[in-house]
Amino acid sequence: MSKTKEMTIGEIAKRAGVSKATVSAVLNEKRTVNPSTREKILHLIKTLNYRPKGFARNMKTGDAGKCIGIIVKELNYPFFTTIAEGAKEYASSKGYSLIIASSDYNHLSEEKFTNLFSAKDVRGAIIAPVVEGNSEIEHLFKLRKLNYPFVLLADIKGIAANVVEIDNKRAVKKAVEYLIKNEHRKIVHFAGPPESAHTKERIDGFRDAFSESTLVFNKEMIIPIGSNTRVSYENTIKYFKSKNRKDYPTAIVCFNDLQALAVMTALRDVNIKVPKDISIIGNDDIHYAEIYSVPLTTIRSPQREIGQKAAEILINNIESPTLVPIEHIVYDTELIIRKSTRRLD
């Protein structure tokens, strides 16, 4: 069999020396197959680049099955919207439709959508992964076993997968270095949700910046306030009400721009001026960052390009008759200076 589309469950069964029912049992993760046979079948699935077929391939409607999916963490955040737009542009250029779903930062929702995509013959998926606790990634292992094509938008330890991401550590490190260069000595990081892979990377970047300066990092500089607008606003109010004015930071590096907007709104409501009293740096450079009441200094990432590259890698994997080497693409970022930061006198 020289082409992926010709490989069938019957051919896998023949090469493994088992029945089609046995192969089906492995694909459906039933425990009725002994471990050695299971591993033999899984090995053949991978090496022969076989992919289970859902209902769409059986439809006599031409390109009805030419569809890929993307699972983002929230639909109303422009960072993910722009990535999805980039993925849609590339997919359309190759004759594919794009289905967009949101996990809403919920691991079970992400798992539900990956199961739905693979069962219904959405030919591959781009996934902004949710990480909870000890990295609940069993569903991603399942996709790998089934040779289901997917691309992650963040690197997850333990999963050998295609990844397209930004260098979060370097991005935040550059932001902190900029603040230090501008005489800030009391800098804090308002961290994002713990279930985001980017949260830890951005904390690591914040910490790394201090290792190359005379300033000393301590864990009290990391304040987890979440990324939901309402929650971030309330936690910001709570943080500043718990401190004396003389103990306020002079600068805050935020997890993302949406959080930064909530922080700036909260500071306005407690009569703290940006940037006179406190400088603010966001992350992502979403399209309305420059039209905030105080235009936001932020970290620009190539969101559209990320979506395009993820879709390109995904479709290459889908259409290749042989296994394609795993790719890990890391994009650099740019610090965009606007009016929410200032040099201290």
Buried b (16+ CB within 10 A) or exposed e, 296-333: bbbbbbbbbbbbbbbbbbbbebbeeeeeeeebebeeeb
Q: Are 278 and 175 contained in the same domain? A: yes
- DSSP structure class, residue 253: E
Cα(219)–Cα(207) distance, integer angstroms = 9
Identify the H or E element spanning 2.
none
Average pLDDT over residues 66-80: 92
Q: Are 188 and 221 in contact (CB under 8 A)?
A: yes
Q: Are 297 and 172 contained in the same domain? A: yes
In this prediction, residue 6 has a pLDDT band, given cuts at 50, 70 and 90, of: low
Q: Are 101 and 70 in contact (CB under 8 A)?
A: yes
Q: What is the pLDDT of residue 63?
A: 53
Q: Are 91 and 150 contained in the same domain? A: yes
* Residue numbers of the domain that contains 132: 64-165+303-331
Q: What is the pLDDT of residue 51?
A: 67
Q: Are 175 and 274 contained in the same domain? A: yes
Contacts of residue 214, defined as CB under 8 A and 6 or more positions apart, other chains included, come to none
In this structure, the strands spanning 298-300 and 334-336 are antiparallel
Contacts of residue 264, defined as CB under 8 A and 6 or more positions apart, other chains included, come to 274, 280, 292, 293, 294, 296, 340
Residue 52 corresponds to which amino acid? P
Copy the structure tokens of residue 86. 């980039």
First to last CA, the chain: 72
Average pLDDT over residues 88-99: 96
In a domain, 55, yes or no: no
Cα(109)–Cα(130) distance, integer angstroms = 9
In this prediction, residue 194 has a pLDDT band, given cuts at 50, 70 and 90, of: confident
Calculate the alpha carbon distances from 52 to 12, 16, 207 in Å: 11, 16, 45
Cα(191)–Cα(200) distance, integer angstroms = 8
In a domain, 338, yes or no: no
Instruction: Supply the pTM of this predicted model.
Output: 0.82
Q: What is the pLDDT of residue 158?
A: 82
Mean pLDDT of all residues belonging to the chain: 88
In this prediction, residue 3 has a pLDDT band, given cuts at 50, 70 and 90, of: very low
Radius of gyration of the chain measured on its C-alpha atoms? 23
Q: Are 313 and 126 in contact (CB under 8 A)?
A: no
Which residues are bridge partners to 284 per DSSP?
300
In a domain, 96, yes or no: yes
Q: Are 35 and 21 contained in the same domain? A: yes
Number of domains in the chain: 3
Residue 132 corresponds to which amino acid? E
In a domain, 187, yes or no: yes
In a domain, 53, yes or no: no
Domain with 160 in it: what CATH number? 3.40.50.2300
- Tens of pLDDT, residue by residue over 292-337, are 889 999 999 999 999 999 999 999 999 988 888 999 999 999 999 9
